[in-house]
Structure 1
């Protein structure tokens, strides 16, 4: 059975983007992309780098963790706004949207049905893991399906924005166990948790 991993950058106060939903790692964002951060991702999560970053860094490694990426419409829009219709051509790419009538890229499948049902289908297939890139609303919809969290905790607080799990209206506690951690000299902590 494949696993769904929510691998995402977050602030100390639990936000994955600012209130406007823009890219927090952009030049005007609040996540500082440092050399040690990039080195860690290239060494351990090369498949999570978007195609332009992979090309710029000379990354050709297919990666060992994920062969599929799922994301919400707003996260996908960040790439579209940059002129990128498929940021992850090296992965099977699914975008969950009720408003996007058709995919702007033949390699990206738009799914308008229940995200949890689709992810359960994907989990039943053979292959590597499934990466939930974001956003917060999709993470909220997939909350019961998440098997692993890999949180890239950045040493910054922002006070408001899009939380790790948006759109949830009631509490549903789930226990996770810390299975790995790496703290970089820049202060970013990679924390890995498996569902208990």
Structure 2
């Protein structure tokens, strides 16, 4: 059974992006990014992989899930298939069709679709963004791991880690890494 990991950067106060979807304030430190890209090469968008010369095999994931707002970040820049090295799924009720043949649009029954996806063989599933999708998947106990890249700043307002109320849940810390730039990477398993 595939594990689903919500792997995302957030501010200390728990926001994954500003209201407009921008990511100002998140670390762009070269040493931090090089380490992150070494540990999780598949999380680097294809156009950056090519530019940075990253050709590593996928270590953790073979599938990426994106909410509509997450997908729109690249789409605004003309990137219609951000992760060609992964199976890509975008979840949206408002997007009429997928703008790219390599990105499958899921417009209903996200829970059923992801439950079936988790039963398939292969590497893990990466939820790279989508606060509303994360809240839905959490409510249906479909998230197995939470990996947070907690950046050392307070955003004050924005898009929260989960786009709605979630129930209190105990987490088990599996791993952690503290970077010189102040980012703390925390790996949790949901218990």
In the other structure, the counterpart of 2:19 is 19
In the other structure, the counterpart of 1:155 is 152
- Report how many residues are paired: 189
In structure 2, what is the Cα distance between the partners aligned to 1:145 and 1:174? 13
SS of equivalent residue, structure 1 residue 142? helix
Q: State the TM-score, normalized to the length of structure 1.
A: 0.93
For the 8 Å contact 1:62–1:90, the answer to whether it is kept is no
Task: Tell me by how many angstroms 1:120 deviates.
Answer: 0.6
Say whether 1:178 aligns with 2:173: yes
For the 8 Å contact 1:9–1:16, the answer to whether it is kept is yes
Matching of residues 19-38 of structure 1 within 5 Å: 19-22=19-22, 24=23, 29-38=24-33
In the other structure, the counterpart of 2:142 is 145
The answer for unaligned runs of 5 or more in structure 2 is none
Task: Tell me by how many angstroms 1:108 deviates.
Answer: 0.3
In the other structure, the counterpart of 1:188 is 183
In the other structure, the counterpart of 2:89 is 94
For the 8 Å contact 2:27–2:183, the answer to whether it is kept is no
User: Which runs of structure 1 show a deviation greater than 2 angstroms over 4 or more consecutive aligned residues?
Assistant: none
Task: Tell me by how many angstroms 1:195 deviates.
Answer: 1.4
The answer for unaligned runs of 5 or more in structure 1 is none
Task: Tell me by how many angstroms 1:172 deviates.
Answer: 1.3
Task: Tell me by how many angstroms 1:62 deviates.
Answer: 2.0
Say whether 1:167 aligns with 2:150: no
SS of equivalent residue, structure 1 residue 116? helix
In structure 2, what is the Cα distance between the partners aligned to 1:125 and 1:46? 22
Matching of residues 37-116 of structure 1 within 5 Å: 37-116=32-111
Q: State the TM-score, normalized to the length of structure 2.
A: 0.96
In structure 1, what is the Cα distance between the partners aligned to 2:90 and 2:116? 15
In structure 2, what is the Cα distance between the partners aligned to 1:104 and 1:119? 21
Task: Tell me by how many angstroms 1:118 deviates.
Answer: 1.2
Task: Tell me by how many angstroms 1:52 deviates.
Answer: 1.5
For the 8 Å contact 1:4–1:123, the answer to whether it is kept is yes
Residues 14-56 of structure 1: CA deviation (Å, up to 9, x unaligned): 000012222x0xxxx1112101221112210000000111111
Residues 122-179 of structure 1: CA deviation (Å, up to 9, x unaligned): 10000000000012111111112110000000000011111000133xx412211000
SS of equivalent residue, structure 2 residue 95? coil
SS of equivalent residue, structure 2 residue 19? coil
